Amino acid sequence: MSTITLIGTGNMARAIGTLAVAGGNTVEVMGRDQSKADDLARALGSGTIAGKWGAVPAGHIVITALLADGVVPVVAEYGDALAGKVIVDISNPFNATFDGLAHGEETSIAREVAKVAPAGASVVKAFNTIFRDVLEQRRPGVFIAGDDAQAKAGVAAFIESLGLRPLDVGGLRMAHWLEGMGLVTVSLAGNGVGHWDFALGVDEFTG
């Protein structure tokens, strides 16, 4: 099992943390508001600890469970504290009208994180195409992208410990398209599907 740190104390941190604890992983929570981090650690239980903001995370896998505009600044703020860690970005940078991405070029939050991450850190995009309620109640596939094969393997093993299926889409350049898939998921919820209780996945047809 993995040792993970969740930076963030919101709904996605709670959902991933709950599954992580149930899967036998060791969990640490960090939040800018220490009282919220303490409360979430207590709620998750099973030895979950609340770390101090900005300190070296206990987890080898560090999940930035933050809004898109906060991810890069926080990674930059942590700086060398993240050296050697696997940083997992789960965010979606939607524009104000939810019909496009906030960045106009072919980049991603994950690729921008890689620019400010310290030496030895690896960046993986994951979990951004899944609604929180689905993550809490269902077993969707989790698309992942990253350039470091070993880092992706570690994240994939962590995902499997949650009872979920990791689906590797390739290098970190593909994180841009995963953010696009996140946008498509939201658009489907408001249009063709008409509700939030679904997830994109892969059906395999053989024989």
Residue range 41-61: mean pLDDT, rounded: 97
Mean pLDDT of 31-48: 97
Q: How do residues 163-177 score in pLDDT, each as one tens digit?
A: 999 999 999 999 999
- The strands making up 26-30's β-sheet, listed across from edge to edge, are 49-50, 26-30, 3-7, 61-64, 86-89, 122-126, 141-146, 165-170
Rounded (5°) CA angle 158-17-179: 70
Q: Which residues pair with 165 in a beta bridge?
A: 141
**pTM here?**
0.95
User: How far apart, in Å, are the Cα atoms of 76 and each of 45, 81, 103, 185?
Assistant: 30, 10, 19, 29
pLDDT tens readout for residues 55-66 = 999 999 999 999
User: What are residue 6's phi and psi, to 5 degrees?
Assistant: -105, 115
Cα three-residue angle 152-2-142, rounded to 5 degrees: 45
Mean pLDDT of 141-161: 98
